[in-house]
Amino acid sequence: MARAWQPVADAAYRLATMAKRYFEFSEGTSNKFWEVWREGVSVFTRYGKIGSPVRSP
């Protein structure tokens, strides 16, 4: 028997297994980056100036 489509469960699964996302902002002399990812119910971030040591809260 085929599995019925379950949008809420499927969306929750995609969020729970989300890969790390990486963002950059570069304008003028500003060169920054952010990363965000999820492990279980915890959300983690890393951010900093490109070329400098990384900061994690």
Report residue 56 CA to chain centroid gap: 13
Q: Domains of the chain: which residue ranges? A: 15-57
At residue 8, does pLDDT exceed 60?
no
Q: Is the Cβ–Cβ distance between 40 and 13 less than 8 Å?
A: no
Comparing CA positions, the residue from 23, 56, 16, 21 lying closest to residue 39 is 16
E strand or H helix at 20: none
At residue 17, does pLDDT exceed 70?
no
Percent pLDDT > 90 in the chain is 12
Average pLDDT over residues 20-24: 91
d(CA 22, CA 33): 7
Comparing CA positions, the residue from 52, 24, 55, 19 lying closest to residue 38 is 19
> What is the predicted pLDDT for the residue at 42?
87
